[in-house]
Amino acid sequence: MIITTIATQQPLQQLLLLQPSKLVKQTAFFFNTLSLPFLSKQQLMRPVILFLIITFLILAGCSPTVIFNSPQPTDKRDLGKFPSRYFGKYEEIEDSSLFILENYLIREQYTEDMNVPKIEIDTSKEFILKDDIVYIPETGEEVPVTIRNDSIFGTYITYDTVFRISDENILRKFRGYYFMNIRNDEEEWIVYRLKFRKDGNASLCGISEDDEIDRLKEITTVIEEKNDKDEVIKYIIKPEKGDFKQIIKEEHFKDCTEYRKVGKK
């Protein structure tokens, strides 16, 4: 018994993508679960606690962010979609998170068990229960469920869009790599290097400030942005012609997450 809901691109994406992607995943899950009225209090508490922890980490101060002043590489054209040969489901090796790559987007899939009093579905505007079927008017879905002792049991799946090709999320290719460029509110760009290997697996890599910034300053122009305490909060890379090529050659995208392909979409 599966209830499927589709979430739009999370509103805090641009803020959270300034740091490792795990912050994105947990915060997005927090907003999605709050939107599902049939969750129990126990189910709601887990994402709430995670969100509070993440918020504390952000407010307490993270390492300076490494970003670019423009999408990279600057002399390559924007791509309208991912190559079809890479479509499919990818599992993050570290924590088994599941991602779906298709056409022009990457989504993360969450699967959660449902155990909720029947009255919560009966009083919900988003769901209609009839016999052993939950109807979802917004999506037109009809989902079989099990009813026992005035409770409803089943499984639901939600999706978060991690990357959708657009004016704010640009995909480019260079030397066999794909570069995901994500624009923030200051018209700056967070850049990730996506590599697909021959065995079907993939890696997504960013630049770690702690390991790379000193050498990057020797390669190209790097501007430091500081707060009122004279602390560096942001490094803005402004590569000139040939600089990004050197950054790739020296493999400065080292902060990587590994994925294994586990099936077709």
Tell me the residue range of the domain where 123 lies.
2-260
Residue 25 maps to a domain? yes
pLDDT in tens, 12-44: 333 334 333 444 443 333 334 334 444 444 444
When pLDDT is averaged across residues 167-190 and rounded to a whole number, the result is: 95
- Distance, CA of 163 to chain centre: 7
Question: Does residue 142 form part of some domain?
Answer: yes
In a domain, 31, yes or no: yes
Average pLDDT of 103-130? 88
- pLDDT of the residue at 105: 95
Residue 24 belongs to some domain of the structure: yes
Question: pTM of the full predicted structure?
Answer: 0.73
For the segment 63-89, what is each residue's pLDDT rounded down to a tens digit? 568 999 999 999 999 999 999 999 999
Instruction: Return all residues near 203 (Cβ < 8 A) that are at least 6 apart.
Output: 194, 195, 197, 256, 257, 258, 259
Mean pLDDT of the chain: 79
Q: Which of 39, 22, 50, 72 is nearest to 239 (CA)?
A: 72
Helix-then-strand count for the chain, H and E: 6, 17
- Is residue 188 a contact partner of residue 238, using CB atoms and an 8 Å limit? no
Question: How many folded domains does the chain comprise?
Answer: 1
Contact 39, 31 (CB under 8 A): no
- pLDDT tens digits, residue range 214-231? 999 999 999 999 999 999
70 domain-assigned: yes
The answer as to whether 37 is a domain residue is: yes
198 half-sphere exposure, CB direction, 13 A CA radius? 0
In a domain, 265, yes or no: no
Specify if 255 maps to a domain.
yes
Residue with tokens 């469920």: 145
